[in-house]
Amino acid sequence: MREPVEDLIRQHQKHLFAAAFSVCQNASDADDVVQDTFLKYHLSKKEFSSPEHIKAWLLRVAINKAKDINRRTWRWNTVSLEEVAQTLTTEQSEDTWLLAEVMKLPAKYRIVLHLFYYEDYSVAEIANILKVSDGSVKTRLSRARSMLKNNLEEDLVYE
């Protein structure tokens, strides 16, 4: 099964950008990742079994490309947390505050939180996308939640 690239862009562009941004923390790099991901799909001859398979493949490619960018540039283009919050605008200021706290976490924890809570993937699906074991995903989710909880509690104590 193959879908036209234009349809995929309409359906998945925002999700891919959010996933790439959670790894890169840079809007221009995330845009590049999204563009490269759709280009890779367009040039590939791969057949997919379902629309869910296509989405998972696109997310895996985007995450891997974002990690590659991080390795190559290693933070040449750093951004403040305020700029991050402005780039990924949400409907409520509480969501912006929470997003800023999530963005403080290491990339491997940010991405599992994003895939689990924002993309509604199961642990098994995340493990498949990231090419890690189910146990690794569960551990990362647990550690991410714990870190986030500690960060939020510290912020509340200092206010």
Q: Is the pTM of this model over 0.85?
A: no
Confidence class for position 90, pLDDT limits 50, 70, 90 = very low
Q: What percent of the chain has pLDDT over 90?
A: 61
Q: Answer yes or no: is pLDDT of 80 > 60.
A: no
- Top mean-pLDDT range of 88-92, 102-106, 126-130, 139-143: 139-143
Q: How far is CA 143 from the centre of its chain?
A: 17
CATH number of 5-158, picked from 1.10.1040.10, 1.20.140.160, 3.40.50.300, 3.40.50.2300: 1.20.140.160
Least confident of 32-41, 75-84, 117-126: 75-84
| DSSP per-residue string spanning 100-149 | HHHHTS-HHHHHHHIIIIIS---HHHHHHHHTS-HHHHHHHHHHHHHHHH
Query: What angle (nearest 5°) sits at the alpha carbon of residue 60, between those of residues 59 and 64?
Result: 115
Closest residue by Cα to residue 140 from 115, 101, 109, 106: 109
Dump pLDDT digits (tens) for 114-159.
899 888 899 999 999 999 999 999 999 999 999 998 888 877 665 5
Domain residues of the chain, as ranges?
5-158
Closest residue by Cα to residue 15 from 30, 4, 5, 26: 30
